[in-house]
């Protein structure tokens, strides 16, 4: 438990000025299910003016035990990502969703993410968010969840998808994650690539060289198909990077990838 607590304290290894000056609104309820409130936090740039609306980045976390995920948005990784995005001039949304278990299916978890996106757009005016300019950042096992929300139906308000060290094809994960064929189809980014490649938003994918073989296989399959279909795609590999390299590996390559991620998000959200 001590190791887990230390891991939850870790911030991303990349910083820019004014991160600590960002303003945060915490613990806003976006959904209540089975008498449990699911919460979101909003990070604002320090120079945000009253009545101003700006594009936003939504952060979709991965999976894990329910008690861990209950407060995952408050861990160092997501607090510092929220601050980084705010210091870069945009609004950041971090939130907690449920994890699949004996009562909650993978589809239930995906619906949490969908409903978070819907909530952000429906409350955009009071949150000071431009509802037509959203980016979705997803990490680890959250990548299938974020990809489904970003790609299914190719919503015009999603300007880009960022996928950090997570599977984009769920077939390699199916046995270990105990997924149904329907879940594999619905939550694989590969599905939407095959259905509507020409309409997908720009996608940035990162791959950690020391990651799990199943994740490598899932990323590599998507990259091959996406390249063949001429999808707008950025790919950055971290040959010596671990899963969660953004908090674990304080080396130049990690800095390069995070910096490029910011550039990618800025270019995508600043488009008309």
β-bridge mates for residue 237, sequence order: 207
Q: pLDDT (tens digit, 9 = 90+) per residue, 66-79?
A: 778 888 999 999 99
* pLDDT tens-place string over residues 232-254: 999 999 999 999 999 999 999 99
In this prediction, what percent of the chain has a pLDDT beyond 70? Answer: 99
pLDDT (average), residues 15-43: 95
Q: Summarize the confidence of residues 210-225 as an average pLDDT.
A: 96
The larger pLDDT score, comparing residue 200 to residue 1, is at 200
Average pLDDT, the chain: 94
pLDDT score for 175: 92
2 pLDDT exceeds 70? no
Q: pLDDT tens digits for 8-18? A: 899 999 999 99
Give the tokens for residue 55. Answer: 């594009």
- Give the pLDDT band (50/70/90) at residue 1: very low
Q: Which of the two residues, 67 and 255, has the higher pLDDT score?
A: 255
Please report the pLDDT score of residue 272 as a whole number. 66
Q: In what order do the strands lie in the sheet with 158-164?
A: 23-33, 36-44, 91-95, 54-60, 129-139, 158-164, 203-208, 233-238
Q: What is the pLDDT of residue 138?
A: 98
User: Is pLDDT of 135 > 50?
Assistant: yes
Whether residue 3 has pLDDT greater than 80: no
Rounded Cα gap, residues 237 and 255, in angstroms: 12
Handedness of CA 247, 223, 264, 160 (dihedral sign): negative
- Checking if the pLDDT of 105 tops 50, the result is yes
Looking at domain 2-269, its CATH superfamily turns out to be Alpha/Beta hydrolase fold, catalytic domain (3.40.50.1820)
Average pLDDT on 22-51 reads 94
pLDDT of residue 17: 94
What ranges make up the beta strands (E) of 192-261?
A: 203-208, 233-238
Domain boundaries along the sequence of the chain: 2-269
């Amino acid at each position: 438990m001590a190791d887990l607590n230390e891991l939850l304290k870790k911030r991303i290894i990349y910083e820019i000025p004014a991160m600590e000056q960002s303003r945060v609104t915490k613990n806003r309820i976006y959904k209540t299910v089975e008498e449990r409130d699911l919460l979101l936090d909003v990070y604002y740039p320090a120079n945000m003016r009253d009545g101003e609306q700006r594009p936003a980045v939504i952060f979709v976390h991965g999976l894990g035990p329910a008690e861990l995920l209950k407060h995952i948005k408050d861990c160092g990784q997501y607090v510092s990502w929220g601050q980084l995005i705010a210091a870069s001039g945009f609004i950041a949304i971090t939130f907690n969703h449920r994890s699949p278990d004996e009562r909650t299916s993978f589809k239930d978890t995906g619906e949490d993410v969908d409903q978070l996106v819907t909530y952000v757009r429906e409350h955009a005016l009071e949150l000071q968010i431009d509802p037509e300019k959203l980016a979705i950042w997803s990490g680890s096992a959250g990548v299938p969840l974020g990809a489904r929300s970003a790609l299914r139906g190719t919503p015009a308000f999603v300007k880009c998808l960022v996928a950090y060290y997570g599977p984009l094809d769920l077939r390699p994960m199916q046995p270990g994650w105990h997924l149904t064929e329907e879940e594999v189809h619905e939550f694989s980014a590969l599905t939407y690539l095959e259905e509507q490649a020409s309409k997908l938003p720009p996608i940035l994918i990162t791959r950690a060289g020391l990651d799990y073989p199943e994740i490598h296989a899932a990323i590599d399959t998507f990259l091959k198909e996406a390249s063949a279909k001429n999808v707008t795609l950025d790919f950055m590999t971290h040959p010596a990077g671990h899963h969660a390299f953004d908090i674990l590996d304080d080396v130049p390559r990690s800095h390069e990838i995070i910096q490029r991620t910011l550039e990618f998000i800025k270019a995508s959200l600043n488009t008309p």
